[in-house]
Amino acid sequence: MQMKKLLSIISALILIVMLSVGCKKDKPVDTTVVDEPVPLTNFTAAKTDSVDFLKYQFTNTSTNYKELLWQFGDDSTSVEKSPLHKYAFEGIYHVVLTSRNSQGLSSSREIILNVADPNFDRTKVGESYFATIGGTFTVSRDNGGGPNSNEGSLKVVDGDPNSKFFQSGFSGDLVMKYELKTPALAGAYTLVSANDSPDRDPKTWILQGSEDGIKWINLHSRTGELFSGRAQRKLYHFNNNVLYKFYRLSIKANNGSRDFQMAEWTVNKKQP
């Protein structure tokens, strides 16, 4: 009887201890988040070669970051710390570096980079491929007398600024196309205004190139262009690294006349 009573007492004590342990509160966990420093973004850009002006070394000097994203302004990017980048063409590029820490905080820095050939002369142009390579010239609609007439379409590619191509009934849909005998890398073109009636001058146009005569790539365009004089030669440069066999000039507008005229059109090598 005493043994049973003892066992009952022990069982009661065990139960009390278990209940005491089960009711014990857990120690609170510290959930305080320590804020990281805000990233500070900075970098430098420098040419790496006195001859290869397209190549730049970008050096990251940012602090408090975990990840980086470079945007070079030419649709290319990098996540390297200090990348070496080569541009395809000269031009004005907006370079942006963004740095981010592990908490998602970020900052950015942007510079405007002028990538230019120190030896490039914008007043000069290379050979006319129409003259040195030759090929076949056509227009979407010719002079009423035909391409070989006194003011026919062939006058615009004959190399003589004193002759001209004249088209009556101009409606903004004139296309002049030249198929070279062999593909050539062009980087410039020229237009020469005709001898009279400035309202007939081209004002808005698009220059395109094609490798097969089917798929056309925009190379250059002008809107609202004005020729200040008669027989005035204007030179235009554009970026290109493809040898095209076909070049075409689409005249969208002139200066208000119902007729169109132009003395010369050439497609050229970029520099002599």
Q: What CATH number was assigned to the domain covering residues 43-115? A: 2.60.40.10
User: What is the structure's pLDDT at 5?
Assistant: 61
So where are the chain's domains? 43-115, 129-268
User: May I ask the CATH class of domain 129-268?
Assistant: mainly beta
Any long-range contacts for 43-46 (C-beta under 8 Å, 24+ apart)? 43/82, 43/97, 43/109, 45/95, 45/111, 45/113
- The string of pLDDT tens digits covering residues 99-145 is 999 999 999 999 999 999 999 999 999 999 999 999 999 999 999 99
Q: CA angle 101-102-104, nearest 5°?
A: 70
Average pLDDT over the chain, rounded to whole? 92
CA–CA gap between residue 228 and residue 191 (Å, rounded): 13
- The string of pLDDT tens digits covering residues 62-98 is 999 999 999 999 999 999 999 999 999 999 999 999 9
User: What is the structure's pLDDT at 2?
Assistant: 57
User: What is the structure's pLDDT at 20?
Assistant: 55
